Amino acid sequence: MSVVTCEIHGAVAHVVIDNPPVNALSQQVRAGLAAACSDIARQKDVRAVVLSCAGRSFVAGADIRELGQTPQEPFLPDVLALIENAAVPWVAAVHGTALGGGLELAMACHGRVASTSAKLGLPEVSLGIIPGSGGTVRLPRLVSMDDAVQLVTTGKPVAAQAAKTMGLVDRLCAEDVVKEAESLAHELAGKGVPQPTRARPLVAGPPVDWMAWEAELRKRSRGAVAPLEALGALRDAQSLGVVEALSAERERFLRLAASEEAAALRHIFFAERGAGQGLKTAQAEPADLSRVGVIGGGTMGAGIATALLLAGSQVHLVERDASAAETAGARVADTIAGSLKRGVISQDKADAALAALGTGQDYAALAGCPLVIEAVFEDLDVKREVFNKLDAVMPDDAVLATNTSYLDVNRLAETTRDPSRILGLHFFSPAHVMKLLEVVRGDATGARALATGAALAKRLRKVPVVAGVCDGFIGNRIMAAYRRDCEFMLEEGALPQQIDAAMEGFGFAMGLYKVQDMSGLDIAWAQRKARAATRPADERYARIADNLCEAGRLGRKGKGWYDYASGTAVPDPEVEKIIFAESARAGRTRRDFTPEEIMQRILSVMQAEGQAILNEGIAESAADIDVVMVLGYGFPRHKGGPMFMARA
């Protein structure tokens, strides 16, 4: 069947794209649209055209698989020019999403009708490119330049109502969007030969402060170039003639499409979608997730409960005693209030979430929860006791999960009569925000437990990555490895602020030492102390972090790697003294490190540990490791992840 059909009903031609799942603008679709243009030009009775899509959405973008390849004719800019220069008006009927090339297509039409639930956007920068088919030239002829800059440089889609307000669509329609488009098409037909969007003047508005935008984007994009190129294209649209601006845009697009940044972003795009392969094969019925138990309502437990509540589950949260349960309930309420304040959720949703939360101290109350997630202190004995108690009260088919960061899931599973129902569900903080979920498969973890992990990730809209059991699973193990090497660098001559600056210069949102100060240094300190007894005598060990903690510097709440008295992280001579003393004690002659050398060392440690994780079968693929580092540890997305960089 053809992916583009053209049916003529009286004076109106209906062009329908049907290219599941999201009507991507593949070569066949472009060819189909070009053919429809020629067909319609031959039909003298046709006075207007309605362009719509079958399925759940309008065109959601280019065919990403074609992006890294040599472009195949017909090219989208040429197809859009055919539509735009047609003798009769084309009206796009947008439902679902019109993204990227999809929105460029709609903008090349002479009118746009959108369903009230539609979303429209130009997310190209998230793939390291910019609109390449006239999007940056046509957009500021429909919306103000400020709105255009916002849309193109952030890549964030807007809802139909906002699109209507800014002028991107002409009409909204709650029901039959094709019918409404037909009516607009008739009106436009009555006005003679339609004016191409590109022939319209730029929308008048206050002058854009290009310098301010550039400074802002440089800060925000952390080294990614596509947002700045997008800004440049819009500036061209203002300062050049239409033909020159179109060709300058195409040149930028083709150059970016072939760039390392675009390859990295495409890699991570597909890696996210392909993550959690081992879960896809788990042939079992997952536990019902409409009611979930959570044990421990501290930072993580409260975040996990919030995530579940916002996804529509009922949650019963168990704490150590009545007063801890009350505090945990208040913590969840605070987190939900925070989401409400940031405008992420509506008042109704916040009310419904709070009403679905129960708290208490009685484990028996968890018996009606098909899944229970434990997030108590990171202590094997405490957690084993929790699993013992759960084993006594939970029905046989309940799935029991631990949010442990480092502990041995197999040893926890031993404490229960059926270890096949135990798995690790390692959330990241804040758990209601972070997109990553490490699903830890113990030696005995069964298909139902894995299927439940997969179903939970889907319900919470998280990206699941399967990890085997080892100290720290995928992410924390890699972090522990490079953290150790960074301390060696401190001992050898680097300073915390130099390591942080090198990482931030590379594109991390925050350097390692600022992150450590933010999370607090005490937990890692306790872990190092617990492991001291089993550490091989000949293993290199840097004592700087221990000495810092012994000096009472435990992180951001007081002092840590930095001094926070002024409200921001300021390098502290006291810390340098501790570092210098330790270099001398270890007999190291301090030397200078360049930012490149620091980053090179961090990357090679990440890559070596990642390779070891792969060799041991802890991760399912190198791409999964990249997903973990990008989504969980602030690795810059536009670099694609450490394993991608190793291959490149």
Smaller CB distance to ligand NAD: residue 324 or 393?
324
Smaller CB distance to ligand NAD: residue 491 or 517?
517
As a whole number of angstroms, the distance between CA 261 and CA 224 comes to 7
**Smallest gap, in angstroms, from Cβ of residue 301 to ligand NAD?**
6
**Close Cβ partners of 119 (under 8 Å, ≥ 6 residues apart):** 96, 97, 98, 99, 157, 158, 159, 160
Q: Does residue 492 sit in helix, strand or coil?
A: helix
Smaller CB distance to ligand NAD: residue 59 or 515?
515
Residue pair 27/79 in contact by the 8 Å Cβ criterion: no
Please state whether beta strands 158-159 and 119-121 pair in parallel, antiparallel, or not at all (unpaired). antiparallel
**Smallest gap, in angstroms, from Cβ of residue 296 to ligand NAD?**
3
**Smallest gap, in angstroms, from Cβ of residue 127 to ligand NAD?**
30
**Smallest gap, in angstroms, from Cβ of residue 389 to ligand NAD?**
8
Smaller CB distance to ligand NAD: residue 182 or 319?
319
Q: Which of these, 111, 70, 262, 299, lies nearest to 196 by C-alpha position?
A: 111
Tokens of 247: 């060709």
CA angle 7/8/9 to nearest 5° reads 120
Q: Does residue 529 sit in helix, strand or coil?
A: helix
**Close Cβ partners of 256 (under 8 Å, ≥ 6 residues apart):** 128, 129, 130, 225, 226, 229, 262
Q: Does residue 142 sit in helix, strand or coil?
A: coil
Up-side HSE of residue 570: CA atoms within 13 Å toward CB?
10
Tokens of 610: 């990642």
> Edge-to-edge strands of the sheet including 158-159?
97-99, 119-121, 158-159
Catalog residues that contact ligand NAD under the rule CB under 6 A.
Answer: 295-301, 318-320, 324, 375-378, 382, 386, 403-405, 426-429
**Smallest gap, in angstroms, from Cβ of residue 229 to ligand NAD?**
36
**Smallest gap, in angstroms, from Cβ of residue 361 to ligand NAD?**
8
As a whole number of angstroms, the distance between CA 376 and CA 275 comes to 28
Residue pair 93/177 in contact by the 8 Å Cβ criterion: yes
**Smallest gap, in angstroms, from Cβ of residue 371 to ligand NAD?**
16
As a whole number of angstroms, the distance between CA 449 and CA 6 comes to 49
As a whole number of angstroms, the distance between CA 468 and CA 619 comes to 7
Smaller CB distance to ligand NAD: residue 376 or 627?
376
Smaller CB distance to ligand NAD: residue 120 or 613?
613
**The tokens 């964030």 sit on which residue?**
156
As a whole number of angstroms, the distance between CA 290 and CA 312 comes to 7
DSSP-assigned letters across all residues of 539-558 = S----HHHHHHHTT--STTS
Query: By Cβ distance, which residue is nearest to ligand NAD?
Result: 298
Smaller CB distance to ligand NAD: residue 66 or 378?
378
Residue pair 50/91 in contact by the 8 Å Cβ criterion: yes
Q: Does residue 613 sit in helix, strand or coil?
A: helix
**Smallest gap, in angstroms, from Cβ of residue 384 to ligand NAD?**
10
**Close Cβ partners of 273 (under 8 Å, ≥ 6 residues apart):** none
Residue pair 137/177 in contact by the 8 Å Cβ criterion: no
**Smallest gap, in angstroms, from Cβ of residue 419 to ligand NAD?**
19
Q: Which residues are catalytic?
A: 62, 101, 104, 124
- Torsion angle defined by CA atoms of residues 272, 277, 278 and 279, in that order, rounded to the nearest 10 degrees: 70
Residue pair 438/465 in contact by the 8 Å Cβ criterion: yes
**Smallest gap, in angstroms, from Cβ of residue 387 to ligand NAD?**
10
Separation in Å, CA 635 to CA 130, 472, 506: 22, 17, 9
Tokens of 310: 């916002």
Helix (H) or strand (E) holding 49: strand 48-53
